[in-house]
Amino acid sequence: MKRNTIIEIVIILYAILFLYTGISKIIDYSVFREQLATSPILAPIAKPVAVLLPWSEFSVVILLIIPRWRLKGLYTSLLLMLAFTLYIIAILSFSEHLPCSCGGVISMLSWKQHLFFNGAFISLAVWGILLERRFKKEQRDAWKSANPAVGYSG
């Protein structure tokens, strides 16, 4: 499979994920906010998180679909998935009450399934970042070889 095809698949999967979860959080906003309010970690900041998180997910989708910002979108996707995963680990480690503030079908996953799901998406982000960085480097190198006078300071 061509590298560009793999990058596109990773982008599409992340765009679907963040659009779906963001829309689910907005549609069920009051439920989402209440679930966050019962979280032992996020309760004090439940309202701003409930407002900002879906819009953050939509912003990441925009970064991902604009080729110039794609690498930033992949890094941001990785950071969000790492944050979600660390939150799950913290909840599982330090809390008896396990609220799920996920959106839609994802809320039906067990906590172990959440961790595997997140791990798969973290792996996809890392893979996408590595491929996109290599792709951009090859583009720069090709441009420099096609334009040898650029960058000449002598």
* Tens-digit pLDDT profile for residues 1-21: 788 899 999 999 999 999 999
Domain ranges of the chain: 3-144
- Categorize the per-residue pLDDT at 151 as very low, low, confident or very high, splitting at 50, 70 and 90: low
Of the ranges 9-13, 86-90, 141-145, the best mean pLDDT one: 9-13
DSSP one-letter string for 71-137: HHHHHHHHHHHHHHHHHHHHHHHH-S-------GGGGGS-HHHHHHHHHHHHHHHHHHHHHHHHHHH
- Categorize the per-residue pLDDT at 137 as very low, low, confident or very high, splitting at 50, 70 and 90: confident
Instruction: Kindly report the pTM of this predicted structure.
Output: 0.84
